[in-house]
Each structure stands twice: as C-alpha cells, then as structure tokens.
C-alpha cells in the first residue's frame, strides 16, 4: 500500500509541469536521495577519520583550461586510497574537482553531472557556463548543515565559455559562495603550496602543454610539503588525473600522457629537488 | 441530467476520440540500420521536436498532440535520470521506461475524461542489432515489442506495409532513410520528393558512440544523406551526380518536387 502510493506520487512528480532542475525533482519527491541528507550529528573525531580528498589545481591557458588532482585520499593519518579520482567530467564543456569528505563529494559530482544533463535534455539547450557555476553553488549550499558538522566538501569548477571563447575557473566556499578565479587556483589540503608554486610558474597565454606541466609541478610541490597530498607513484604507475577543456570539449589525459608529464617533473627534480625557479628580477610584472 | 452510458460505449468513444486526434497529424517512422536506430518524422519546426533523447542509449519519438507528448517526454527524462541516479546508468532500460509509459497512459485512458491523443515509440540501441529494443505504446497503454521497423500515427498500418516491402536487416543509414521516406510518402500519395530536409526531423542512436548515443541529423549532413537516399525513386541519375559535386546539390531533387507539385512546402524549401 505504501509503496503503491509512493509510486503514484513519483508518477505525479514526473508528469507535473515542474522545473528543469534534477535537484529540485529530488527535493520534491525523493529527498532521501540527496547527498548528505539524513546525516545526524557527527562527532569531530569521526568526521576527521572519514576519507578526505585532497589537492586540486586548475589553470587557464590559451584556448581553454586544465584541471589536475593528486590521487590520494586520507583518513586521519592513514592513506585511505592511493588511486582515488577527484577530477571529473561534469559535461562536454566543463569539469569539476572535489576536496573534503570524499563520500559526500563524489555524490555531489554525480548529482551535478545529472543536473547538467537533465537540464540540457529537458530544455534542449546547454546551460551557460555561469549558469552551471551558479547551480553548483546551490548544490553546495544545500549541504551547509553537513558542513557545520564537519562534513565539509568544497569543489573547484572549470569550463570553456563557448560565448567568450576562454577557459574560466570558479571556486566555492561551504556556504555555496561562488568566486571566479582568474588565471589559476587551487583547493584542498595542499592548496597553499600548490598555489604558491603555480604563482611562480604560471604565465598568461601559456600553451596547453606548459599549463599541464605547471599544474604537475604544483601538485609535486604540494605533495612535497603536505602529507595528505600524494606525489606521482612511479612504482605503481599512479599519476595525477589531468583534464583539459577547450572548444573541442572535455578531454582527460591518458595514464601514459599524464605519466610522461610526471616523469618530466621527476627527472627535473633529480638535479633540482625544489623544482624550477622563477627569475628574481623580472622585467615584466605577472598578469600583464 | 446524468445519462447512463455503458462502459463499452464510454471506452469506445474515448478510443475513437484519441484515434481521430492522432490521425490529424503526420505519422513517423523508427527503423533499424547497421550502426544503430534511425528516427524520421515530418516536422517543419526546428524547435518543437517529435524526436528526443531520453538517456544514454534510449530515445523517444511521438506523434499526436504536442503538449501531451511533451509531458510524456519530460516525464520519461525524469524517470530515466532518477533511476540512473538511484542505481546506475546501465540500469535504465527501454523496457522499464516502456512499461512505465504503458502504465501511465493506461491510467490516463481509464481515469481521465479525455485520453491523451498520442502514440509513442521508445527505442534502445544495444551492442548488437539483434538486442536492440523498440516499443510502440498507444494512447490506451497497449505496448508492442517491434523488430526492424515501426510506424506510428494515423496511417501507421499503410506505412508499415510499405516498410515491410523495403526493409532489409543490416542496411546502411542512407538506405534505411530511403526506406523510411518511402514509407512516409504514403501519407502524401506516394510523392516522396515533397519531403525536403527542412521538412524532416531526423535523429539516430549510434551503436558505437560512447556515453550518449543520441544525435540529431541536421543541416549539411542531412542534405548529403538525403541526396544519397532520395534519388533512387525521384529521378534517375542527376541527383547522384549532384551528391558527388557537393555545393548546392541538395536543392536538386527538392526543386523538382516544388515544380511538380507546386506545394507551399516545396516552394519554401527550394
């Protein structure tokens, strides 16, 4: 009886005029499926012992944007997983990386992917890049209760703006606040080191290969100083996940391609362990 | 003043009403080809679609009242996305969706004073042609499991007869399109040339494409396919020469149609 009336309710929800948002469909008719719902008060120690996703970097280059993430998930002082993936295709022209509680973060990504595709199918057009960025903010905001209990998830969103013809990067805080980042950005436990590294290595209008290499160097620097960020694992051939988004769409580097960049970084560091240095007295200021 | 109407009469009236409504619109065709499933429907509108994507390997085609099948299309997308989100993407099947449509249309037919004036097809492309699934669902919720080809709409039976004559397993896309257009020509008294690219909505589920297999065929690609598909019945050689030459070859057969018939459709296309 209960399941029958539930089925009727779902049918009514499907047939209603409704909106084109998948999240709203869930909120209205199956709220238990939303990520992070039903989370009760979680003790701080438990929250800290859940697997956490760590560092993500992104950089805009000439004609697109690159995003890269290390492969480590940590649970307290333990390594929970050494080949976790934290950078995902969100749709044809955008990608998303997550840091924070991995379990909820991955659910967010799944929800966001369906959200974008759902809108596209119902409306017959893609959301604008800003529309996608705003929608992600809304999804993060809905988890504010969970975040207050220590289940913090913060995404990094990047995509190719088809109208403007450039790659753009958006960062978020736990309240869903959305901030457009220019040139490059980093999130997660090793982000301080990665950002410092990118700051010195980034140049405007870089080529794709240079931008990928800069991100790889930044992740190496993060792994160098942050225990929660994993460096390239040459023995197991586990390398960072690297994705580019250009006018041709989302493309993830194969393991061999990412491995080649990682090897280049490692062989460079054999002679200079701290990596490339930037000129101390630059003639031109950054960003010009 | 309530009158007694027997249930038989009430159902018959509803069915007649729905059939009449559906017969007012043009019919559509869904047909298998070697690399997937082809959907063809006469539709002058570029924005109001009769053929749509539902999920990775599932598409939807409908004839009848636009506002009613649009409700069903959106419901199908919601059903599929929710099922895929709840379980996994591979757990969304055409069979499940067809059952849901059948149940919903059946309930509407019995419970609501006015039945939906629609006929829909749900198709899923599989790894091999033998495993492809095509379901036709009518206004009262009856489901038919079809193989090879299916026509929907008021003249579905006549069109299906023509399709049966011309259909061949494992035909390439252009031949399948040709068969579909020959079938659809039944409703314009066998005059195939009237069906120009601007008057057709064409889409495919491509078997080998990863992730989302649905693609609309429009513009130059459709023109090129039509010049391959149409010449056989239109004229003898010239259209094929035009196809090889490229350029504005697409207008060749259409112009012929406009000259012959003088229809407003042909005129606007040429």
A9 in a structural domain: no
Q: Classify residue B204 by its DSSP letter.
A: E
Task: Give residue A171's pLDDT.
Answer: 97
- Round the average pLDDT of chain B to a whole number and report it: 84
Between chains, do A18 and B78 touch, taking CB under 8 Å as contact?
Answer: yes
The 10s digit of each residue's pLDDT in B34-66 is 999 999 999 988 889 999 999 999 999 999 999
- Do the domain assignments include residue A260? yes
Tell me, yes or no, if A106 comes closer than 8 A to chain B by beta carbon. no
Q: Who among B53, B84, B104 is closest to A11 (CB)?
A: B104
Q: Is the pLDDT of residue B208 over 60?
A: yes
How many domains does one find in chain A?
A: 1
Nearest to A25 among B47, B53, B82 (CB): B82
- Residue A283 belongs to a domain: no
Answer yes or no: is pLDDT of B236 > 60: no
Phi then psi for residue B182, to 5 deg, are -60, -45
> What is residue B69's predicted lDDT score, i.e. its pLDDT?
95
Contact map slice: B 105-124 vs A, CB within 8 A: 107
Q: Considering the candidates A54, A74, A229, A244, report the single residue annotated as catalytic.
A: A54
**CATH number (domain holding residue A217):** 3.60.20.10
State both tokens at A227: 């225990």
Would you state the pLDDT for residue A3? 65
Residue A22 to residue B85, Cβ atoms within 8 A: yes
In a domain, A31, yes or no: no
In a domain, A8, yes or no: no
Cα–Cα distance measured from residue A223 to residue A229, given in angstroms and rounded to the nearest whole number: 5
3-state secondary structure of A238: strand
Query: Does the beta-carbon distance from B84 to A117 stay under 8 Å?
Result: no
Count of CB pairs separated by less than 8 Å, A with B:
49
The B residues from 29 to 58 touching A (CB cutoff 8 Å) are 47, 49, 52-54
- Helices B66-86 and A102-123: angle between axes, nearest 10 degrees: 170
A287 is a domain residue: no
* Closest by CA position to A56, among listed A203, A202, A169, A208: A169
Pick B27-253's CATH classification: 3.60.20.10, 3.40.50.10490, 3.60.10.10, 1.10.3720.10.
3.60.20.10
Which residues, numbered 59 to 88 in chain B, qualify as contacts with chain A under a Cβ-Cβ cut-off of 8 Å? 71-72, 74-79, 81-82, 84-86
Q: From the list A14, A33, A117, which residue is nearest B75 (CB)?
A: A14
Beta bridge partners of B63: B119
Which residues of chain B does A122 touch, with a Cβ-Cβ cutoff of 8 Å?
A: 74, 77
Higher pLDDT residue, B264 or B167?
A: B167
Q: How far is the alpha carbon of A285 from chain B, nearest alpha carbon, in Å?
A: 45
For residues A96 and A107, the answer to whether their CB atoms sit within 8 Å is no
How many helices and strands in chain B, by DSSP H and E? 10, 10
Residue A161 lies in a domain: yes
**Cβ distance of B104 and A110 shorter than 8 Å:** no
> Can you give the three-state secondary structure of B9-61, one letter per residue?
HHHHHHHHHHHHHHHHCCCEEEEEECCEEEEEEECCCCCCCCEEEEECCEEEE
A280 occurs within a structural domain: no
**How distant is the Cα of B148 from the closest Cα of chain A, in angstroms?**
26
Q: Is A114 on the interface with B (CB under 8 A)?
A: yes
Q: How far is A191 from chain B (nearest CA, A)?
A: 31
Q: Which residue has the higher pLDDT, B204 or B261?
A: B204
Residue B130, pLDDT above cutoff 60: yes
pLDDT score, position A13: 87
Of A249-263, B16-30, B250-264, the one with minimum mean pLDDT is B250-264
CA dist., res. A243 & res. A241, Å (int): 7
The number of beta carbons lying within 10 Å of the beta carbon of residue A122 is: 21
**Closest among B233, B219, B177 to B33, alpha carbons compared:** B177
Active site residue A54: yes
Instruction: Per-residue pLDDT tens, chain A, 288 aa: give them.
Output: 466 677 788 888 899 888 899 999 998 888 888 887 766 667 777 888 899 998 999 999 999 999 999 999 999 889 999 999 999 999 999 999 999 999 999 999 999 999 999 999 999 999 999 999 999 999 999 888 888 888 899 999 999 999 999 999 999 999 999 999 999 999 999 999 999 999 999 999 999 999 999 999 999 999 999 999 999 999 999 999 999 999 999 999 999 999 999 999 999 999 999 999 988 886 665 554
Give the 3-state secondary structure percentages of chain B, helix then strand then coil, rounded to 5: 50, 20, 25
Nearest CA to A46 out of A141, A146, A140 is that of A146
Answer whether 0.90 is exceeded by the pTM.
no
Q: Which residue has the higher pLDDT, B247 or B202?
A: B202
Tokens in use for A57? 């970097």
Two tokens at B268? 């606007």
Residue-number span of the structural domain to which A63 is assigned: 41-271
Mean pLDDT, residues B184-212 taken together:
82
Confidence at B264, pLDDT banded by 50, 70, 90: very low
A11 touching chain B per CB within 8 A = yes
């Amino acid at each position: 009886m209960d399941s029958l009336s539930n089925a009727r309710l779902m049918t009514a929800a499907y047939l209603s005029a409704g909106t084109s948002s998948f999240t709203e469909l869930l909120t209205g008719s199956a709220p238990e499926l939303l990520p992070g719902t039903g989370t009760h008060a979680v003790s701080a120690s438990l929250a800290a012992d859940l697997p956490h996703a760590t560092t993500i970097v992104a950089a805009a280059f000439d004609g697109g944007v690159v995003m890269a993430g290390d492969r480590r998930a940590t649970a307290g002082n333990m390594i929970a997983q050494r080949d976790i993936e934290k950078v995902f295709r969100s749709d044809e022209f955008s990608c998303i990386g997550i840091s924070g509680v991995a379990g909820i973060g991955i659910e967010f990504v799944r929800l966001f992917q369906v959200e974008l595709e759902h809108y596209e199918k119902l409306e017959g057009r893609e959301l604008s890049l800003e529309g996608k960025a705003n929608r992600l903010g809304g999804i993060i905001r809905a988890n504010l209760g969970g975040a207050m209990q220590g289940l913090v998830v913060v995404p990094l969103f990047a995509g190719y703006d088809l109208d403007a013809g450039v790659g753009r990067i958006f960062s978020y805080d736990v309240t869903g606040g959305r901030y457009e980042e220019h040139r490059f950005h980093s999130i997660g436990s090793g982000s301080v080191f990665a950002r410092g590294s990118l700051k010195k290595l980034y140049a405007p209008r870089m080529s794709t290969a240079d931008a990928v290499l800069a991100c790889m160097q930044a992740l190496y620097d993060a792994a160098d100083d942050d225990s929660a960020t994993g460096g390239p694992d040459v023995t197991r051939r586990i390398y960072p996940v690297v994705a580019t988004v250009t006018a041709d769409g989302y493309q993830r580097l194969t393991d061999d391609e990412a491995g080649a960049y990682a090897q280049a970084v490692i062989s460079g560091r054999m002679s200079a362990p701290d990596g490339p240095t930037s000129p101390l007295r630059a003639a031109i200021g950054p960003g010009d | 003043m309530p009158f007694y109407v027997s249930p038989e009469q009430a159902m018959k009236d509803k069915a007649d009403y729905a059939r009449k409504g559906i017969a007012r619109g043009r019919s559509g065709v869904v047909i298998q080809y070697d690399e997937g499933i082809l959907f063809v429907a006469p539709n002058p509108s570029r924005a109001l679609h009769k053929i749509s994507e539902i999920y990775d390997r599932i598409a939807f085609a409908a004839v009848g009242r636009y506002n009613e099948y649009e409700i069903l299309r959106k419901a199908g997308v919601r059903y599929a996305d929710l099922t895929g989100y709840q379980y996994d993407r591979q757990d969304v099947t055409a069979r499940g969706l067809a059952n849901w449509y059948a149940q919903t249309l059946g309930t509407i037919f019995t419970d609501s004073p006015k039945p939906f004036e629609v006929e829909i097809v749900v198709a899923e492309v599989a790894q091999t042609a033998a495993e492809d699934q095509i379901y036709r669902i009518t206004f009262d919720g009856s489901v038919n499991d079809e193989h090879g080809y299916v026509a929907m709409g008021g003249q579905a039976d006549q069109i299906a007869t023509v399709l049966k004559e011309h259909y061949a397993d494992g035909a390439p896309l252009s031949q399948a399109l040709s068969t579909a257009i020959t079938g659809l020509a039944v409703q314009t008294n066998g005059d195939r040339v009237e069906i120009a690219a601007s008057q057709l909505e064409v889409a495919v589920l491509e078997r080998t494409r990863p992730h989302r297999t649905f693609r609309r065929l429009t513009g130059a690609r459709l023109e090129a396919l039509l010049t391959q598909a149409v010449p056989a019945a239109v004229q003898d050689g010239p259209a094929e020469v035009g196809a090889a030459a490229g350029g504005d070859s697409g207008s060749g057969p259409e112009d012929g149609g406009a000259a012959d018939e003088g229809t407003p459709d042909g005129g606007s296309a040429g």
